[in-house]
Chain A
Amino acid sequence: MAFIEVKDVFKEYAQDAVIKTEALKEINLTVAKKDFICIAGPSGSGKTTLLQLVGALDKPTSGKIFYGGEDITVLSSGRLADFRLRKIGFVFQAYNLINTLTALENTEYVMLLQGVNNKERREKAEGILKKVGLGDFLHRRVNRLSGGQQQRVAVCRAIAAEAEVILADEPTANLDSQTAAGLIELMRQLNQEKGTTFIFSTHDKLVMDKADKVFQLKDGRIV
């Protein structure tokens, strides 16, 4: 059985009562556990929309998305929040960290929501941040970190939550090539060591080359 299955998914955005934009058309996708998958395609091809649907941040206009056999498109907003909390880790192009918190506190945040106790949370977050070279920046507010450092904190946050799947939306887009390569290497290492499933979007050829499978999106369709 597929770990994640995207079945006949369409996504439309209504600009107004008359004009509608089809962001995704008839998407069918199967992801197995421990996959390291890349969704590739130019800007506007629907990569972010697809990741948002798989990550339960949004619902498709039609079609189904199964996660471990359960249809997540029918879940209530409360259950979707819980689903995201327990199963999914996000790494966004714009980092999307909580600026008022430090690197350590951002890394701890999801664990806090999961109810992990204080000591365990702190030790785990510190360990992960040190492992990715942010040991000297534990108590620095994230808005005072460089782009690469912020993106590493975002990955740490996803790892610390022990997400089964990490969805990374163009994680290297704002990084220089060396930092980008380091980040992909880190993600790959986690995939292999912890068995975390990765689905990431990119239009960077170097990043695509690191993936096990690449799905090409064009005008909302997998080609």
Chain B
Amino acid sequence: MRTFLKIAWRNIIRSKWRSLITIAAIAFGLAALIFIRAFVEGADRTMIENYTDLIPGHLQIHKIGFHKKMGLERSILAPEKLIEVIKAEPEVVNVTRRIKDYCLVSSSEHSSGVLLMGIDPSTEPQVSYLHKRIRHGEYLSKDKDDQIILGKVLAEILNVELGDKVVIMGQAADGSLASGAYRLCGILDTGAEEIDKTVALITLKAAQQLLVMEGKISELTLRIESVYNAADVSQKLKAKIDTKEFEVLTWKEISPLTAQWLEFDRAFINYILFIVLLVVASGIFNTLLMSVLERIREFGIMLALGTKRIQIVLMVALESLILGVIGSALGVTIGVAVSLYFGSRGVNLGKFASALENYYTGSIIYPRLYLDYVVGFSLIVLITSVLVSFYPAWRAANLKPVEAIKHF
């Protein structure tokens, strides 16, 4: 084995440039795989986190059927007991109460349909980060129930400014006409038009008064330790609460379109990564085949001396493995270093800022490294580099010694 290893190593040294080009192809290929994946991981996870940090939260609990058909008749009557059960789950960080209903908002000039959300200003900031997206004015206060926050686009449509009065109209839970006047205290600017155009926030107490919902709520929104464990926590909660009366929904179930987009994005990137892998593989294949064709005579001598075909295959595969190990080590170093560098500084995609805001990613993407795919890609590249050596190795092993030793 040592001698075959030595021969393999010396063949690598013998053709320095060819070996360097192969090592570089493996290294840059692997580095590209790692960086692309880190970048996409960063973009996707930022998107998930930003998205769930706004309205959906990580999990939502409603009266059954509320998600499909929003309505005040599907309200949670006494949420305190439910909150107690939810908070007992160790992975739950916080929970907030909300009322949601579709209403009409009017200024002195215009009207528009809105998703009215009554939120608890004391607990909402521990579940969603809507308060961080107030660009003008201030967030709601617990003791000021006559204030309202409107989305930026909605405020433009209504042509209102901070301090202006707007009127909310809708149907109350008891069927009566609900109507209330509120003063604009803040403008919400999330960058996502679907929110900025349709959302109006008032305090929970104000919403309960407006819609005749004393003590009732529409929704419990949860923040858990990791949004990526939402499905697990959902299962645990379903085991503890009456699922015939309440629905427990993860953010993916709340917004299947976003989840599908992420899956499509992942599948698309996997195709790109596969193409990069093919390019790397063809580079190694080409080098090894050239290397074998250059050494037909040498293999002929070895076969003539009694070297077994399997030993020839082993030697060529070893050569490829050595190139693979060096290339992979270098590739991991470069890939991790570049990903870490941009992971701390971010990749500024300012030119596409408005489009990216709509996808909740923000204009600066921070690549995120995870050990699983760094190890996974390294192994794939290493295994590929050995696999592609089998054809050149097979060619070398099946030479006829008497013909091969005549080859110059």
Asked if residues A84 and B304 are in contact (CB atoms below 8 Å), the reply is yes
Interface residues on A, range: 20 to 34
Question: Given A99-B298, A101-B10, A105-B3: A85 and B305 within 8 A (CB)?
Answer: yes
Question: Given A81-B303, A92-B405, A96-B405: A101 and B7 within 8 A (CB)?
Answer: yes
Question: Given A92-B405, A96-B405: A101 and B304 within 8 A (CB)?
Answer: no
Using a CB–CB cutoff of 8 Å, the interface residues on chain B facing chain A are 3, 6-7, 10-11, 14, 297-298, 301-309, 311, 400-402, 405
Contacting A100 at CB < 8 Å: which of B11, B306, B400?
B11
Ranked 5 nearest A-B pairs via Cβ: A85-B306, A100-B10, A84-B306, A58-B402, A57-B402
CB distance from B375 to the nearest CB of A (A): 34
Contacting A98 at CB < 8 Å: which of B298, B309, B400?
B298
CB distance from B294 to the nearest CB of A (A): 11
Contacting A81 at CB < 8 Å: which of B6, B306, B405?
B306
Asked if residues B3 and A109 are in contact (CB atoms below 8 Å), the reply is yes
Q: What 1/0 mask marks residues of chain A from 69 to 86 whose CB sits below 8 Å from any chain B CB?
A: 000000001100111111
Q: What 1/0 mask marks residues of chain A from 88 to 99 whose CB sits below 8 Å from any chain B CB?
A: 001010101111
Using a CB–CB cutoff of 8 Å, the interface residues on chain A facing chain B are 52, 55, 57-58, 77-78, 81-86, 90, 92, 94, 96-101, 105, 108-110, 112-113, 157
Asked if residues A96 and B3 are in contact (CB atoms below 8 Å), the reply is no
Report the separation of the CA atoms of residues A112 and B304 in the bound assembly, to the nearest whole angstrom: 15
Contacting B304 at CB < 8 Å: which of A78, A96, A100, A105?
A96
Asked if residues A108 and B3 are in contact (CB atoms below 8 Å), the reply is yes
Report the separation of the CA atoms of residues A86 and B7 in the bound assembly, to the nearest whole angstrom: 22
* Residue in A closest to B1 when the chains form the complex, CB atoms: A112
Report the separation of the CA atoms of residues A26 and B306 in the bound assembly, to the nearest whole angstrom: 28
> Which A residues are CB-close (under 8 A) to B297?
96
> Which A residues are CB-close (under 8 A) to B7?
98, 100-101
* Residue in A closest to B398 when the chains form the complex, CB atoms: A77
Asked if residues A82 and B10 are in contact (CB atoms below 8 Å), the reply is no
Report the separation of the CA atoms of residues A55 and B6 in the bound assembly, to the nearest whole angstrom: 28
* Residue in A closest to B306 when the chains form the complex, CB atoms: A85
- The 8 sampled A-B contact pairs (Cβ below 8 Å) are A81-B306, A83-B306, A84-B306, A96-B297, A97-B301, A98-B298, A100-B298, A109-B305
Contacting B308 at CB < 8 Å: which of A55, A81, A110?
A81
> Which B residues are CB-close (under 8 A) to A58?
400, 402
Report the separation of the CA atoms of residues A220 and B400 in the bound assembly, to the nearest whole angstrom: 22
> Which A residues are CB-close (under 8 A) to B311?
113
Report the separation of the CA atoms of residues A184 and B325 in the bound assembly, to the nearest whole angstrom: 47
Having A100-B11, A101-B6, one finds 12 other A-B pairs with CB under 8 Å, namely: A55-B304, A57-B304, A57-B401, A58-B402, A81-B307, A84-B305, A85-B305, A96-B301, A96-B304, A97-B301, A112-B3, A113-B307
CB distance from A72 to the nearest CB of B (A): 13
* Residue in B closest to A99 when the chains form the complex, CB atoms: B298
Report the separation of the CA atoms of residues A52 and B403 in the bound assembly, to the nearest whole angstrom: 11
Asked if residues A110 and B306 are in contact (CB atoms below 8 Å), the reply is yes
* Residue in A closest to B298 when the chains form the complex, CB atoms: A98
Report the separation of the CA atoms of residues A183 and B33 in the bound assembly, to the nearest whole angstrom: 59
CB distance from A125 to the nearest CB of B (A): 12
Report the separation of the CA atoms of residues A157 and B307 in the bound assembly, to the nearest whole angstrom: 14
* Residue in B closest to A157 when the chains form the complex, CB atoms: B305
CB distance from B401 to the nearest CB of A (A): 5
